[in-house]
Structure 1
């Protein structure tokens, strides 16, 4: 991520995630007792999940961010940070009771890799387990914020078909002026 993303580690961003994004995206979805977080970045979502869920395993591809998160959550036995690529996760099938993926999918550079990520999440979720994902709606302003960085936003209208092809059912997608949220169940 480029230097502008340091804002994602700020208290203002953490408050937005805690008070607006997560409540809107999660609603009343139960993620269970063994939650997978894909792409925690600076850990704003991990803060909330790690304080409210019995166990969270967060997979982060960026080694420096993963090291920072490992140190930050060292005293929280409910949170485990794993350095890894979410398109090829080192977990057995049907391991997790739920999955969360917030404000990071636009950093996955192609539709093919995004779809592979969705399929991997479906593989490691127990049958019937929920995926909750959200991200921003594409805009010129966000594109400008990503200069020198990956910016490949998802059109929310494509999510039902893409998630179904990846192994999900009961796909629901909601949008607002700022973003989209999707929930789906692993087959």
Structure 2
């Protein structure tokens, strides 16, 4: 992430927005009471909100330094250094898998699709994959100059989630972001 992006993601304003409106919207009607996997927690703003709301929380972060920092901060969260496109868990390990504002950091649509397939694989039958990502705007592009940024089309996402093995995919577009959810049958 570039300097501007890092500053935003670590800010109190970002945390307040995520905790106050974005995460409640993204997880509306998602049962977080069981075993939950968070893919791509980054600096931990979303983990901080999820931890007290989850029965048991595991987080997988691709950046080794961030994973180590998260492990130190969250003693009650099982933090793993790993890749969301190659999850180190057995089939059917989680009741819910979530990811928040990180899909656009996955370098290619093909790797995003692998992440979706991995989320489906590690979900238990009846489990839910849910999350949010940002809509691509001029401001969003500017914030990501020099960063990996592979936008996700919310209109095409349901078919991609179906192809990954998930059922009843749905997206809802908000002001700056969109939420999605799908179930494992």
- Residue by residue over 1:42-87, the C-alpha shift from the partner in whole angstroms, topping out at 9 and shown as x without a partner, is 111100111111211000000111111111113xx2x111000110
Deviation, 1:117, is 0.3
Helix, strand or coil for the counterpart of 2:95?
strand
Which residue is 1:35 aligned to? Answer: 36
CA contact (8 A) 2:32 2:53 kept: no
Which segments of 5 or more consecutive residues in structure 1 lack a partner in the other structure? none
Distance in structure 2 (CA, Å) of the matches to 1:153 and 1:146: 11
- Size of the aligned set, in residue pairs, is 184
Helix, strand or coil for the counterpart of 1:70?
helix
CA RMSD in angstroms comes to 1.0
Distance in structure 2 (CA, Å) of the matches to 1:51 and 1:133: 18
In the superposition, the TM-score normalised over structure 2's length comes to 0.96
Which residue is 2:23 aligned to? Answer: 22
Deviation, 1:127, is 1.1
In the superposition, the TM-score normalised over structure 1's length comes to 0.95
Deviation, 1:138, is 0.7
Helix, strand or coil for the counterpart of 1:157?
coil
Between 1:173-182 and 1:1-10, the stretch displaced more is: 1-10
Residues 24-173 of structure 1: pairs in structure 2 closer than 5 A: 24-74=25-75, 77=76, 79-173=77-171
